[in-house]
Structure 1
């Protein structure tokens, strides 16, 4: 950027053409997308690893975000800020809070199975 400003102040042509700048921007955007994807997958891995290490009987509060199928809903695990899906009780509505526990978590395979906690 310094070179562009210096060239302008000297009355010279800019060191980069518009086409070259667009090419550089495209490469940078692709690299940023790759890094962002890597960060997201790394974060997901460590969240799944955290859930795997927790006691099996531990339950988590989850907010129903939307329904994917009949009783399968997209949930937000409130304490963790992580989105997953699971069966929810009959009559659950979007915005309801349900209790779930981790049935299985396999970070390397990117697998998480949640099960609703039945209230007695």
Structure 2
């Protein structure tokens, strides 16, 4: 998939998530509205992670083997993107989003979602 397409999709989803957050705040933080906002943010995080990893992989693919040389320090971009997927586990976001849409199960209120 094209990196630019993923980035534009993530930007659109980020705006959408912001709207859900505004709605949740305006509702007085009613649980269903907070859950919708939480799910929307989880969707953005998952897609943005995919875009970041794709972009960093493409950097090495397009720049060739010399781009891996320590003097350029390009690997820091991949490391940073990957570290964020582990620090804020994306795998749980996929689970929570799927469980919400398929089973109607509200995600736990937890910082990693």
- Normalising by the residue count of structure 1, what TM-score does the alignment of the two structures yield? 0.36
Return the structure number with greater strand share.
1
- Normalising by the residue count of structure 2, what TM-score does the alignment of the two structures yield? 0.38
Q: Which has the larger radius of gyration?
A: 1
